[in-house]
Structure 1
Amino acid sequence: MDFLGAQLYLWSVLLTVLLFGLFVRRVMGVRLGLLRTFVAALIGGAAGPALLGALLPPPSPGADLLTLVLYTVLMAAVALVVAMFALAVIEMLIPDGSLPGPVTAARSLRGRMRRSGRYVRLLRIVVRHGLVRFLRGRSHRAVRTQEERHALARSLRRALEDGGVTFVKLGQQLSTRRDLLPPEITAELARLQDDAAQLEWGVVEQAIESELGQPWREVFASVDPVPVAAASIAQVHAATTPDGDAVVVKVQRPGIAEQVARDVEILRHLATTLTARAAWAADLGLADLVEGFATALTEELDFRIERDNLQAVAAGLAESGAEDVVTATVWQNLCTRRLLVMGRLEGVPLGEASGLLTALGASRRQHLASELLRVVLDQVTRQGVFHVDLHPGNLLVRSDGTLGMLDLGSVGRLGSQSRSGVARLLAALGTGDSVAATDALLEVVERPDRVNERVLEQELGEILLRFAPPVATGTASTATHPTPAAPANIAGAVAALFRLLARHRLGIPPQLAAAFRAIATLEGTLDLICPGFDLVGGAREASRARLQADLDPAQLRRRAESELVTALPVLRRLPRRLDRIADAAEHGRLQVNARLLAHPEDRRFVTRLWHQALLTILAATAGLMATVLYLVAPGPMVTDEVGLFHVIATALLAGSVILVLRLLVVFFRREEG
């Protein structure tokens, strides 16, 4: 055979096998991968004729045409059955979807090659800091004592610092999770610094002009080449607009988005692996933590989101009437994905402003703390957009005695229903009403089918008595007699509340958890502004003031008008509908219709069950009939060697096997179509 003939023969065989494989997949009745179908077709095409030849010798070349046709049909049927059996076995051993397809596998291989060097560097960091023992195993006895936890926390902090920007950001977020991590670890992770080497002015200048699409001198009157701050994600420079406004220009570091994306992908893989291998990772919910962190970090890399956050928070501050808490204004037309231009807030970071705060006096500091608490509560319970991490580094103390909010790259957002539930929950916590607190809590969490509300109410009441005891009459002011232990109550209450939710299998939505953590994080900030500030008492005063404002006659009238406008169409139709119901009941025509299986998913479920039951009956009937026909064979002779009952029994047996294999494939598939 010449080369062209060999090529034509090869392509004809491949085409025949491919068409046969598509036919096999169609007969199976389920969508399966093309590669496994092709392999099954090859197995059926090779093993089918050999199996038939072992059971029934092939006719001689001189046999009559009908015998040859029957044998060919029988051989095709046997090949089909063998191919379907092979496909069922492959599906049982390697379910569809458990292995990536060729294109996905090729892309994954390229990704693994790109990440392999980074994996090696991270593994060296883990080994160098002695964290290898935590990568596997179900439990560890090396963290039982406080000294061991301190040692682990130091090693973890140093490893995260060596890991780079993504891991530093992860550690900073974990430092706020006092509900999940021991205090020794959160305290150590709070020391992580998001510092980085300064970029050369030429690199920054090129980045600014690339984002603006024009030379920076046509937009700004001046830009200071020396940065105000240099962080791992961005670098900030002071600038002046042609109108003389003092602004700051936040420029994203070139290539940082690609680096973060690669590290986040590594984090996801590590979190999935650790969750499967280590008990502490599963208990911590590491995979969910990493997923939430990845979402927040992706938002932080898009400066347009921070621009919108700044505008939303500024609108919320104006709505709250806050005069002592401000945020930066935004030059919207100059902001891009990697460039943010906002007004310059002059001031001293709260952590370094002890001298300035002392000069303000005790009463002013008490007022600032109360005002900041009121603003945050308004953000959480009324406006729905709140600062998720208002630690001392994100607040400036200005020379005029006001506070400036910084770092709004990632904020929390609550819908109207969640805001209403949180407001009722905080009000109940402030009054110590465990019944109202339980009702409000059950409205905002994801509850299972069964909840022991009595036990939940009792345990929640114990948390209220422990961390937020009722206000005793005749007590002195907190400004006069500070209570240094009070700031720890909120963090303890939030941790106890999260443990309570976990015990009762109540899922807390991520944004709602962020709101509770934001309030818990705020306690340390308020204590720096006014040492001994009673956050619980301040929240009670804010809730009381908000309640008084809501009970104002003008506010009540506006709310009643709003509710009336919403309910008026329903009220207008209500008398006519009641009259129809009464008339139908009087004349015996009142009926209640309930549609069974009204949901499409329910109908599809019942249909699938019916189809599988019908296939089972047909397969069993066909197999039984084939057995009976084989027993009474041969019947009328079709040829000299083949009887009619043999042909019918073989067809019934093939049909029975096909139906059984279809059922097996559906049974062993991970998901039914």
Structure 2
Amino acid sequence: MKFSPFESKRPDMNRIKEIVSVLAKYQFGNVLDDLGLRNKLFFTLNLHLRDPEEEFDSSVPERVRLVMEELGTSFVKLGQVLSTRPDLVGKDIAEELSKLQDEATPFDFTEVKRVVEQELNNPFEETFIEFKEVPVASASIGQVHEAILKNGERVAVKVQRPGIVDQINKDIIIMRYLAGMVDQRMPSLKYYNLPGIVDEFERAIKKELDYNQEANNAERFRASFEDDETVYAPAIYREFSTLRVLTMEYVEGVKLTEIIDSEIKFNARTIAERGAECYFKQIFINGFFHADPHPGNILVQNGNVLCFIDFGMMGNLDQDFRDNLAELFVFMVNYDVKGMINQLQYMNMISDSTDIESLKYDLMDLLDRYYGADMNQVGELMSEFSMPTLLIKHKIRVPRDFILLGRVMSMAEDLGQRLDPNFNGLHIAKKMVKRLIKDRLNPLRRLDNTTSALINLEHIYRDLPQSITRSLMRLEKGNFKMELEHKDLDKFTETLERITNRISMALLISSLIIGSSLVIMPNEALILQNFPYLGIVGFLVSFLIALALIISIIRMRKI
């Protein structure tokens, strides 16, 4: 699968007209006006634009979601990515976009058969004993069919929708085009960095379109929970999986959506608690987490076992970030504002110019809104911490991973509360905090990093003599270079220049006074034909030069 360089391609104007039509339909005419699209394109469109004074029933967040839904696959996926970025689109829009359902009409079975045979390079009948034509599930990127392999094993086969890569390619070109227009013509929206959002979306969608990547994700997730009897992930059949076909173990279970909306007998509280514990483990222990905790992506098996079935959207956290995040999380859960500030400074998330006292009171206000007898929304607290108001005011640099985590945890907690109204995320979080503290204080934990530390030490031991020798040779030859970084030296230079100019002007004025005195003293001046011509000429030349210098200094404001 190859994505062409979008910058070298022109956007599809017919598709842009379609986008303009949808925006107009849902009352975003003001955006079209700001971008100059209404006058440029509407004369070719037979559109009925609503009267600006006509009321529209739904709110702005809902209208944004409706626009995404109507524009199809690429924009639904973009909406899902943006739902994890409340720091950019705001809490209300992020929550509304999280409702986007990735469902689509199934494509014809003849296309399914063609894609499978082409990808597996084998006739259909030689691979499967049975292959059900009606899909188990159908989404915008692909659909899943139940099948039985030649060896008799029951599998689920995920087949990518034909033409979807080209369609998404074209839409990303348009997204770049529109994002560039917004960046140029709507300065108030520059903060949101729309071109950057398109880049982020492109990275996410490329991973989701690559079924080999999803197979890697599934195997890694399965391995991380192989010793946990409460969480399960299906096995992957690599020999029957390619870029556009993914074959995995067929698992029985009931979707969480069906448990939430029906009277099916499961222990809802156990499921909610296991779900929360599972996500805390993914984030703080494994560093590899499911980034789309939609109830349709999770099955419940006998014994209240959670089974994850979709691994297209996953998140990664390195060890250092997990350690720092765990410490910040401990302070946050324990209502330790001072500890939070110290940790933010350690993580370089706040600068020296941040007003610590003001930040302290804002953090206290934030924690007060969530702590108390009914406090149960840890993920919501993390999402609130990532809101633009707090970030901009205190110049906090929050990593994207932190923002994504807050959103994912918030969605997981919401799922827990829908299963059990009495679900308390803080209770689960405090249990995890005890485990994190225990792990952090365990001296044996450092043994995990022994190999890496020894290798780094060996590099130093091996390279240090050569580095010292090279430095001494450069110093001996006079080739030793030193770079200095100055702070506020420009201000010092400017001040020194002004002082020098003032001294120069004082000397000039003094010289003119002395010169003029000599000119008017005939006995002291050089006289030709009873008049001191040379003295006056010299005085005038000096005066003009001094005047030009004074004017130059004043113009440069260096006095």
Structure-2-length-normalised TM-score? 0.71
Other structure's SS at 2:157 match? strand
Instruction: Give the counterpart of 1:509 among 391, 399, 402.
Output: 399
What is the CA deviation profile of residues 272-306 of structure 1, one whole-angstrom value per residue up to 9, with x for unaligned ones?
21133235633444333222122111110111111
The answer for the alignment partner of 1:196 in structure 2 is 104
What corresponds to 1:495 in structure 2? 384
Q: Which amino acid aligns with 2:286?
A: Q
Contact 1:175–1:186 (8 Å) recurs in 2:
yes
TM-superposed deviation, 1:131? 1.4
Determine the structure 2 residue equivalent to 1:334.
Answer: 240
Tell me how far 1:366 sits from its aligned partner.
Answer: 3.0
**Local SS of the residue matching 1:514:** helix
CA 1:267 to 1:569, structure 2 compared with 1: closer, same or farther past 3 Å?
closer
Question: Residues 516 and 299 of structure 1: is their aligned pair in 2 closer, same or farther, counting only changes over 3 Å?
Answer: same
Count, aligned residues? 446
Structure 1's 564 and 184: CA in aligned 2 closer, same or farther, altered over 3 A? Answer: closer
Which residue of structure 2 aligns with residue 460 of structure 1?
363
SS in 2 for 1:408: coil
Return the alpha-carbon distance in structure 1 between the equivalents of residues 170 and 451 of structure 2: 54
Structure 2 Cα separation of the partners of residues 183 and 506 of structure 1: 18
Taking a change above 3 Å as real, the CA distance of residues 379 and 350 of structure 1, as seen in their structure-2 partners, is same
Indicate the residue corresponding to 2:446 in structure 1.
Answer: 559
Distance change (3 Å), C-alpha of 1:358 and 1:280: farther
- Which one of 91, 116, 120 corresponds to residue 17 of structure 2? 120
Partners of 1:390 and 1:429 lie apart in 2 by 23
* 2:82 counterpart of 1:174: yes
Q: Is 1:347 the equivalent of 2:265?
A: no
8 Å CA contact 1:430, 1:468 repeated in 2: no
Corresponding residue for residue 471 of structure 2: none
Selected match of 1:390 from 279, 293, 297 = 293
* Matching residue's letter, 1:597: M
1-side partners of 2:90 and 2:313: how far apart? 25
Per the normalisation by structure 1, the TM-score is 0.60
| Conservation of the 8 A alpha-carbon contact between 1:224 and 1:237 | yes
User: 1:149 & 1:450 partners in 2: Cα distance?
Assistant: 45
Distance 2:370 2:61 in 1: 27
| 1:308-328 superposed Cα distances (whole Å, 9 cap, x missing partner) | 11111112223xx42112122
Q: Structure 2: how far apart are the matches of 1:232 and 1:542?
A: 37
Alignment of 1:326-475 (within 5 A): 326-354=232-260, 359-361=265-267, 365-444=268-347, 446-448=349-351, 450-469=353-372
Partner of 1:310: 218
Identity of aligned residues (%): 28
Structure 1 residues 444 and 265, CA gap change in structure 2 (3 angstroms): farther
Answer whether contact 1:421 1:441 (CA < 8 A) is retained: no
Deviations 1:570-615 (A, max 9, x none): 79x99xx9xxxxxxxxxxxxxxxxx76349x99xxxxxxxxxxxxx
Aligned residue number for residue 424 of structure 2:
534
Residues 198/570 of structure 1: CA separation in 2 closer, same or farther (3 Å cut): closer
Q: Quote how far apart the aligned CAs of 1:372 are.
A: 2.1
Q: CA 1:442–1:269 in 2, change beyond 3 Å: closer, same or farther?
A: farther
The unaligned stretches of length 5 or more in structure 1 are: 1-103, 139-146, 473-482, 578-594, 603-673
Candidates 129, 139, 160, aligned match of 2:26: 129
Mapping of residues 632-643 of structure 1, within 5 Å: none
Q: Please tell me the residue identity of whatever aligns with 1:337.
A: L
Residue 415 of structure 2 corresponds to which residue in structure 1? 525
Aligned mates of 1:123, 1:491 — CA distance in 2: 35
Q: CA deviation at 1:395?
A: 1.5
Whole-Å Cα distance in 1 between the matches of residues 322 and 338 of structure 2?
A: 19
Q: Which letter does structure 1 place at the counterpart of 2:18?
A: R
**In 1, distance between residues paired with 2:300 and 2:188?**
40
Structure 1 pair 445–517 and aligned structure 2 pair: CA distance change class (3 A): farther
2:520 match: none
CA contact (8 A) 2:19 2:71 kept: yes
Alignment of 1:223-372 (within 5 A): 223-278=131-186, 281-318=189-226, 321-354=227-260, 359-361=265-267, 365-372=268-275
Whole-Å separation in 1 of the counterparts to 2:348 and 2:144: 40
Partner of 1:587: none
Deviation string, structure 1 residues 128-187 (Cα, Å, up to 9, x no partner):
22212124559xxxxxxxx97933334323322221100111223333444444555444
Aligned to 2:12, the other structure's residue is in SS state helix
Which amino acid counterpart does residue 232 of structure 2 have in structure 1?
Answer: V
CA RMSD of aligned residues (A): 3.5
Identify if the C-alpha distance between structure 1 residues 348 and 129 changes in structure 2 by more than 3 Å, giving closer, same or farther. Answer: same
Distance apart, 1:307 and its partner CA: 0.8
3-state SS of the aligned residue for 1:295?
A: helix
- Report the Cα distance in structure 2 between the residues aligned to 1:337 and 1:189, rounded to whole angstroms: 28
Residue 512 to residue 216, structure 1, CA distance change in 2 (3 Å):
farther
- AA aligned to 2:64 is L
Task: Report how far residue 506 of structure 1 moved.
Answer: 2.3
The equivalent residue for 1:88 is: none
Using the alignment, how far apart are the partners of 2:420 and 2:337 within structure 1? 30
SS at match of 2:387: helix
Distance 1:205 1:392, change over 3 A: same
Q: Distance in 1 between matches of 2:230 and 2:263?
A: 14
**CA displacement 1:498-547 (0-9 Å, x = unmatched):** 34233222222223321222112211111123222111221111221343
Q: Deviations over 1:45-72 (max 9, x none)?
A: xxxxxxxxxxxxxxxxxxxxxxxxxxxx
Q: Secondary structure at the match of 2:225?
A: helix
Q: In structure 2, the residue corresponding to 1:247 is in which secondary structure?
A: strand
